[in-house]
Amino acid sequence: MPDLESVELTPRRRSREMALQLLFLKAFAPDKGLEASPKGLFADFVRDFDIEREIAEYGGTLFFGVCENLETIDRTIEAHARHWKVARMSLVDLSLLRIAVFEMTFLHPKLKPNIAINEAVELARLFGSTDSASFVNGILDPIARQI
C-alpha cells in the first residue's frame, strides 16, 4: 500500500479524488446517491466538505461528465473488460475507469491517454484493493489504443 504522505496532491489529483467519492456515493448509497440529483449531490458535497473552487470546478466537470455519458462510458469499459460485467466490478475500480474513459473520450480538450491511465492507476493503488491498479490498467490500456 502506498504511503499517503508521499503522494503529491495536485489540484487535478484532488479533483479526481472528489469525483471518485461522488461517483462512489451515487452508486453505493441509495438514500443519498442514486435518488439524489447529481447537482444536489455535488452541491451538498462541496458545501459539507468546504471544497476549494478550483478543485470543485474540475471535480464537477468529471462527475457531471461521467453522469451525462454513463451508458456510453460503461459500454466502452465492458467491451474491453474480458470476462467482467460492469455490474460485478468494485465500485472504486469502476468509478476510476469511468473517470479515465471520460477524460480520454469526452473531456474538451481530451486528456492524453497515458496521463488519464496513470492517474487512474495511482488512485487505484491508494483507494482500491491490492489488484485494483493492474485491473484498471488492464482495461484502460486497450481503450487508449482504440482511441
pLDDT digits (tens, 9 = 90+) for 89-111: 999 999 999 999 999 999 999 99
The residue with cell 503522494 is 7
Mean pLDDT of 105-132: 96
Q: How far apart are CA 83 and CA 78, in angstroms?
A: 9
pLDDT number for residue 27: 87
pLDDT digits (tens, 9 = 90+) for 45-89: 999 999 999 999 999 999 999 999 999 999 999 999 988 999 999
Return the closest-CA partner of residue 136 out of 89, 95, 97: 97
Domain 10-146 has CATH 1.10.940.10: yes
Mean pLDDT of 122-132: 97
Domain boundaries, the chain: 10-146
pLDDT number for residue 28: 79
Q: How far apart are CA 143 and CA 123, in angstroms?
A: 18
> Residue 53 CB: number of other CB atoms within 10 A?
7
Q: Is the pLDDT of residue 1 over 50?
A: no
pLDDT number for residue 147: 84
Return the closest-CA partner of residue 142 out of 60, 78, 67: 78
Q: Is the pLDDT of residue 9 over 90?
A: no
Q: How far apart are CA 73 and CA 77, in angstroms?
A: 6
Q: Is 40 exposed, middle or buried (0-12, 13-18, 19+ CB in 10 A)?
A: exposed
Share of the chain above pLDDT 90, in %: 80
| Cα angle 67, 68, 73; round to 5 | 75
Q: How far apart are CA 18 and CA 16, in angstroms?
A: 5
pLDDT band at 3 (very low <50, low <70, confident <90, very high): low
Q: Is the pLDDT of residue 44 over 60?
A: yes
